[in-house]
């Protein structure tokens, strides 16, 4: 896949995910302009605040997961990833988060793998649940594991195939952009990806990236 084609996929994914909170901002502004009741105006301001926060949290996450955030250094502070994940999934209380990453820093590529696996697993928790994120370094490299558990897990088979590289790259839809990015990063590093579960209320995705 050419770089501009992949950039188009990522842009489509970003626009899709930002459409809801940005649309709510627009609706809130329109309501506020026409509303004179103090109680309803307060509700409109609450809607605007929630939508602005959701938009900002998504942008922070996507900047780390897809963009060039983290500065010019080779490694990125893992606390940035934790804050981004908590902002994206922890605000509404639908998903409980478990953070099992003791490493203070990770390479940019490894951090993108961790964030995108978290995005995929979190999106699969359609009725909420628990999301555990873990990473451990060794002399051999780094192991990343994301575990999702909930009453209902839905993951598109295309995402699984994209993660494992079992799909024609030219047929990938925008919803598969994160999965394909993970596949490319891990493949380029000489690592491997494993995925298990999904039908029994538990989804486990792991990536092994050699040093």
Q: What is the pTM of this model?
A: 0.90
Output the tens digit of pLDDT for each of the chain's 211 residues: 667 677 888 888 888 888 888 888 888 888 888 888 888 888 888 888 888 898 999 999 999 999 876 666 789 999 999 999 999 998 778 999 999 999 999 999 999 999 999 999 999 999 999 999 999 999 999 999 999 999 999 999 999 999 999 998 888 888 899 999 999 999 999 999 999 987 889 999 999 999 8
pLDDT at site 71: 60
pLDDT the model gives residue 198: 79
**Confidence at residue 184, expressed as pLDDT on a 0 to 100 scale:** 94
pLDDT number for residue 24: 83
Q: Give pLDDT tens digits for 8-55.
A: 888 888 888 888 888 888 888 888 888 888 888 888 888 888 888 989
Helix or strand or coil: residue 44? helix
Nearest to 26 by CA among 44, 41, 11, 12: 44
Q: Which residues sit opposite 135 in a β-bridge? A: 101, 144
The pLDDT score that the predictor gives to residue 4 is: 63
The Cα–Cα gap between 41 and 57 comes to 24
* DSSP E strand stretches across the chain: 75-77, 95-101, 105-107, 129-138, 141-149, 192-197, 202-210
Look up the CATH architecture of domain 3-210: 2-Layer Sandwich (3.30)
What pLDDT does residue 141 have? Answer: 96
**Total count of residues recorded for the chain:** 211
Going from N- to C-terminal start, the domains of the chain cover 3-210
Contacts of 26 by beta carbon, 8 Å cutoff, 6+ apart: none
Q: What is the pLDDT of residue 68?
A: 75
Task: Write down the pLDDT at residue 64.
Answer: 92
pLDDT of residue 10: 82
What is d(CA 40, CA 79) in angstroms, rounded to the nearest whole number?
Answer: 38
Give the C-alpha separation, 52 to 25, whole Å. Answer: 7
The two tokens of residue 81 are 């990833």
Residue-level pLDDT at 69: 63
Q: How far apart are the first and last CA of the chain?
A: 26
Give the per-residue pLDDT at 122.
Answer: 96
pLDDT at 37: 85
Handedness of CA 89, 91, 93, 97 (dihedral sign): positive
């Amino acid at each position: 896949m050419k770089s501009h084609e992949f950039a188009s996929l990522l842009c489509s994914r970003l626009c899709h995910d930002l459409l809801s909170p940005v649309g709510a901002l627009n609706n809130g502004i329109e309501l506020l302009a026409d509303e004179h009741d103090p109680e309803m105006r307060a509700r409109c301001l609450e809607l605007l605040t929630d939508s602005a926060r959701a938009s900002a949290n998504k942008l922070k996450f996507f900047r780390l997961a897809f963009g060039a955030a983290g500065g010019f250094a080779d490694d990125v502070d893992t606390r940035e990833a934790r804050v981004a994940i908590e902002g994206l999934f922890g605000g509404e209380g639908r998903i409980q988060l478990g953070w099992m990453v003791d490493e203070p820093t990770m390479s940019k590529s490894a951090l993108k793998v961790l964030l995108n696996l978290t995005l995929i697993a979190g999106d699969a928790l359609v009725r909420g649940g628990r999301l555990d994120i873990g990473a451990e370094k060794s002399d051999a490299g780094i192991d990343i594991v994301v575990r999702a558990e909930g009453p209902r897990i839905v993951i598109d088979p295309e995402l699984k195939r994209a993660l494992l590289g079992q799909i024609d790259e030219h047929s990938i839809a925008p919803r598969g952009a994160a999965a394909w990015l993970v596949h490319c990063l891990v493949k380029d590093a000489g690592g491997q990806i494993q995925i298990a579960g999904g039908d029994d209320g538990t989804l486990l995705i792991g990536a092994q990236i050699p040093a």
